[in-house]
Structure 1
Amino acid sequence: MSNPIIVIGSGFAAYQWVKSFRKLDQHTAITLVTADQGADYSKPELSHVFSRHQQATDLIKQTAAEFAAEYNIKLITETIINEINTTQQWVYFNQQQLQYSSLIIATGATSFIPKFAGNATDKIITLNSLSELQQNQSQINAAKHITILGAGLIGTEIAIDLATAGKQITLFDKAAAMMPALLPDFIAAELHQVLSQKDIDLQLNATISEINTDGKQMIISQQEKEDIHTDIIIAAMGLAPRLQLAQQAGISTNRGIIVNNMLQTSATNVYAIGDCAEINGKISAFIQPIMLSAIALAKTLAGTPTPLSLPPMLIKAKTPWLPLSLAGITTAMDIHWQIERDHDGYIAKAHTADKTLIGFVASHNKQKQVFALLRQLPPAL
């Protein structure tokens, strides 16, 4: 009997690979090892649960046992892989070695939390997984005032969701504008105005000096500004790929685990997909590129070598107060913008000096036009 394909992780990337591979190959043995409970759930829905009055369990599509049975895999939950040996092709966990024919690292990423001065950094929570939601939901439900660190896409989505659920929200960022990695200044300013009108306290261009607790509340101290007293602090300041296991195995890493267009790492028969993988210097943490990566790798390991090809990617922000879809390059300094606005919303088209379309942002009902624009953009990979 040949050795199984081993998958480390049970997030969207890992489970999408299993689903894609089983469409092509129903018999090759697969062993999946995960540090958590292994439920199959919709991660994007994490930023909707409070306004919809859902529980964490409402997001579960299948339990680990149900997923393992449907896709004919061996699923080992709540287990940490201690070591990977890429020369002899085994992983070590639970005091045993398990040989693999191919290994897929899909360990994802963890929420980044800076080490602030003060006595309360360890009380900052994150909402990057089902288990984190389960751990923190009752505390969030009981809170009146919640502070979110990070006004990027995820932080903004969470802020709107919690405000819709009736919470008082303060949103912090060291940047001077909303969603600075995605939105041009003029659209960020409009989003800023919308959130302010909905009574979200925006603390942008802010520098936190320390975070403390007085036993009842947390106190955020800023340079040259008044302290903020809050019940809970949620960090949404970006993700840090989990690299330690790959690094211990001598696999090449940078910001993520470095892979080529076949999703292969520097080690033979070892692949990486999802939030932990870096290709061409970029980490694609959105659903569409992760899904396409899983499909391409499934075809490769089923016997048809398939390089990853990424079309232009559409990002739909879950910002119902100002619905937005965007794609391409939208924040470069030398963009020439063409803005079309009417009662249905607006489309802002980003062009180069020679009038080549390189990106766009669409709002409200104008989002119906995005797919025609998307076809005009160059591929992402």
Structure 2
Amino acid sequence: MSNPIIVIGSGFAAYQWVKSFRKLDHNTAITLITADQGADYSKPELSHVFSRGQQAIDLIKQTAIEFATEYNIELITDTVVEEINTELQWVRFNQQQSHYSSLIIATGAKSFVPNFEGNAIDKIITLNSLDELTRNHSKISTAKHITVLGAGLIGTEIAIDLATVGKQITLCDKASVIMPTLLPEFIAAEMHQVLIQKNIDVRLNTAITKINTADNQLVVSQLEKEDIHTDIVIAAMGLTPQIHLAHQAGISTNRGIIVDNMLQTSAANVYALGDCAEINGKISAFIQPIMLSALALAKTLAGTPTPLSLPPMLIKAKTPWLPLSLAGITTAADIHWHIERDNDGYVAKAHTKDQTLIGFIVAHNKQKQAFPLLRQLPPAL
């Protein structure tokens, strides 16, 4: 009997690959090893749990047992893979070695939390997984004032969700605008104004220096600004790919695990997917590129080599106070913007000097115009 395909991780990328592969191959043995409980859940919905009155369990589509049964895999939960040997093709966990025919590293990414000074660093909450939500749901539900560190897409979504249920929110970022990697200044300014109108305390150009405890609260100190007294601090400051296993195995890494357009790493028969994978110097942590990557790798390992091809990707911001969909290049300095605005919202088109469309943002009730514009953009990969 041949060795199984081994998958490390049970996030969206890993489970999407299993689902895609099983549509093509019903019989090849698959062993999936995960450090958590292995439930299949909707990670993009984590930021909406509180405004919808949900518990963590409400996001679960299938338990680990249900998933393993439906897709005919061996699923090993609550287990950390300790070592990968790419020459002998085995992984080590629970004091045993398990050989693979192919290995997929889908270890994802963890929330980035700076090494602030102060005695309350261990009290900072992150919400990047179902386990983290489960551990912190009660604390967040009972908190009156919450400070969110990071005004990117996820931080802004969390701030809006919590403000919707009556929490007092302070949103901090060292950047000068909201969602600096996605929004041009004129739209970021509008988002900023909307947040203020909804009573979110927005503090940009903010350098956090330390976080301490005081009188059953946390005190967030800022450089040359007044302290923030808060019940909870949530960090949404970006993600750090989990690459330590690959690095220890001698697999090429940079910010993520370096893969080619076949999703293969520098080691034979070893692939990487999802938030931990870096292709052409980029890490794509959004749903669409992960789905397409999982499908391409499923076809490859089912016997039809399929390079990854990424079309332009649509990003829908879950910001109901200012609904936005965007794609392409939207923050470059040399963009020429063409804006069409009426009572239903606006469409902002980004062009080069020669009038080539390279990106767009649609707002409010103009969402239906996103897909025709998306088809006009050049391929992403």
TM-score (norm 2): 1.00
- How many Å separate the matches in 2 of 1:223 and 1:16? 44
Tell me the residue number matched to 1:365.
365
Offset of 1:215 from its aligned partner? 4.8
Offset of 1:361 from its aligned partner? 0.4
Question: Residues 1-381 of structure 1 correspond to what in structure 2 (within 5 A)?
Answer: 1-381=1-381
Corresponding residue SS for 2:366: helix
Query: Which amino acid in structure 2 is aligned with residue 89 of structure 1?
Result: Q
Offset of 1:165 from its aligned partner? 1.1
Query: Which amino acid in structure 2 is aligned with residue 276 of structure 1?
Result: C
Query: Which amino acid in structure 2 is aligned with residue 159 of structure 1?
Result: A
- How many Å separate the matches in 2 of 1:180 and 1:350? 16
Corresponding residue SS for 1:113: coil
- How many Å separate the matches in 2 of 1:82 and 1:302? 27
Offset of 1:75 from its aligned partner? 0.1
Corresponding residue SS for 1:154: helix
Query: Which amino acid in structure 1 is aligned with residue 305 of structure 2?
Result: P
Corresponding residue SS for 2:293: helix
Offset of 1:223 from its aligned partner? 1.5
Query: Which amino acid in structure 1 is aligned with residue 56 of structure 2?
Result: A
Output one character per residue of 1:241-264: Cα deviation in whole Å (capped at 9) or x when no partner.
Answer: 001100000000000000000000
Corresponding residue SS for 1:110: strand
- How many Å separate the matches in 2 of 1:125 and 1:26? 40
- How many Å separate the matches in 1 of 2:187 and 2:7? 41
- How many Å separate the matches in 2 of 1:377 and 1:220? 43
Output one character per residue of 1:10-49: Cα deviation in whole Å (capped at 9) or x when no partner.
Answer: 0000000000000000000000000000000000000100
Detail structure 1 runs of 4+ shifted over 3 Å in the superposition: none
- How many Å separate the matches in 2 of 1:18 and 1:209? 44
5+ residue gaps, structure 1: none
Output one character per residue of 1:171-201: Cα deviation in whole Å (capped at 9) or x when no partner.
Answer: 0000000000000000000000000000000
May I ask how many residue pairs the two structures share in their alignment?
A: 381
Query: Which amino acid in structure 2 is aligned with residue 280 of structure 1?
Result: N
Corresponding residue SS for 2:361: strand
- How many Å separate the matches in 2 of 1:288 and 1:215? 45
Offset of 1:303 from its aligned partner? 0.1
- How many Å separate the matches in 1 of 2:42 and 2:299? 24
Offset of 1:83 from its aligned partner? 0.3
Query: Which amino acid in structure 2 is aligned with residue 144 of structure 1?
Result: K
Query: Which amino acid in structure 1 is aligned with residue 376 of structure 2?
Result: Q
- How many Å separate the matches in 1 of 2:209 and 2:98? 48
Output one character per residue of 1:139-182: Cα deviation in whole Å (capped at 9) or x when no partner.
Answer: 00010000000000000000000000110000000000000000
Corresponding residue SS for 1:170: strand
Corresponding residue SS for 1:194: helix
- How many Å separate the matches in 2 of 1:253 and 1:373? 35
- How many Å separate the matches in 1 of 2:135 and 2:163? 20
Offset of 1:365 from its aligned partner? 1.3
- How many Å separate the matches in 1 of 2:80 and 2:224? 45
- How many Å separate the matches in 1 of 2:51 and 2:378? 37
- How many Å separate the matches in 1 of 2:145 and 2:348? 35
Corresponding residue SS for 1:107: coil
- How many Å separate the matches in 2 of 1:80 and 1:224? 43
TM-score (norm 1): 1.00
- How many Å separate the matches in 2 of 1:80 and 1:335? 46
Query: Which amino acid in structure 1 is aligned with residue 51 of structure 2?
Result: S
Q: What RMSD, in angstroms, separates the aligned Cα atoms of the two structures?
A: 0.5
The share of aligned pairs that are identical, in percent, is 81
5+ residue gaps, structure 2: none
